[in-house]
Structures are given as C-alpha cells and as structure tokens.
Amino acid sequence: MTKLPRFVLVAVAISLLQIAFIGWMVAGRAALLRDGTDVTLAVEPIDPRDLLRGDYVVLSYPISQLRGDLAPRGASGGDTIYVRVGPGENGTFQPVAARLGSPPEAALGDGEIDIRGTVRRSEFGSVHSNFGIERFYVPEGAGRGIEEDMRQDRFEVVLAVGKDGSAQIRSLLHEGRPVYSDPIF
C-alpha cells in the first residue's frame, strides 16, 4: 500500500505542474490586459479555421505592411521590429515610425506607443510583419458573418499594449460596438 500514495502523488505533482503552467500563461495575458495601454487600429478581414483553436477571423492592420519612408531598410524575415503608433484621424492609431531591433530613438510623442513584432518578409520596399494579434477566435460558424460585415462596415480592434511592446487583443469593434465579448479578467 505504500506504493499507491507515492505513485498517485507523482500524478498529482505532474498535473499541478501542467495546470500551473497554463495558469502562468493566463496570468501573463491577463496582466497585459489589466495594465496595458489601449490602442485602436483599423482592420481588414478573411475567414479560415485552425485545427486546435477553431474558427477565427484573420486581421490585418496598417502596421502589418509598412511602405515607403516608414519601412525600415535591410529588414529580413525573423527580425524584431518596433512600430511606433500615434492617434490619427477618426480615433484610430496610425504608424508614425518603425525600427528594427529596438524602439525608434526619438522620444515618444503625446499618446504614442511602440508595438513589438516580427518581420515576416520584406519585398519591393515594403515590410510585412506579425504582432501576435492577427487572429480573432470566434464561436464555430460565426466567422463567416463577421467576414461579410467587414466588407462594408467599419471594424476596429482595441489592443492592450505593454511597456515592452507586446500587444494583446482586448476586443473587436463593429461600428464602435464590441463583437462577442466575454470578460476574461
């Protein structure tokens, strides 16, 4: 009988470690939502499905593709990129500067903030990057409807951005109202 408790204790320990890890992931994201600065970006759509996480809407932002003077030179896939955004017309933020490896040198202007991402590819002077905020997961079947609405209506995403530049989707806004919101801490 002495063997039973020990083996079961191992099982408890393994399970708690796994659950603690999940908890740590949740806590990190929740902290970002709680403490992060809100940034609103305009979005453009599509609608595929992920095997484990289910249906989602693909989101693309003004910062996803930087052109002309904004695009940092010499970018290649895998580089870290910081894009500085500031409040623009009709309440959404617009990119104002970008730099590879570290945030732009100039001091942050009023309401400006840096978002950190990874360069996906760079071609013909435009730089395509990911910021970990390109997907919005929705209940099964709901994606198609949102995608259709996106063609005609105004959609925006509210982000929570941390001091280190990591970004987290807070909500997806359809004509200013949140789509499918369910408070998570």
Is 34 a residue that touches other proteins (CB under 8 A)? no
User: x/- contact string, 161-180, with other proteins (CB under 8 A)?
Assistant: -------xx----------x
The rounded Cα 161 to chain-centroid distance in angstroms is 9
Cite the DSSP H helix spans in the chain: 3-35, 142-152
By CB under 8 A, the count of residues binding other proteins is: 42
158 beta partners: 40, 171
Q: Torsion angle of alpha carbons 97, 102, 108, 109, nearest 10°?
A: 0
Tell me which stretch binds other proteins (CB under 8 A): 36-44, 66-74, 92-100, 125-133. 125-133
66 beta partners: 127
Residue 116 corresponds to which tokens in the numbers above? 């950190």
56 vs 97, which CB is nearer to other proteins? Answer: 56
Is 75 a residue that touches other proteins (CB under 8 A)? no
The contact set with other proteins (CB under 8 A) reads 3-4, 7-8, 10-19, 21-22, 25-26, 29, 50-56, 118, 130, 132-140, 168-169, 180, 182, 184
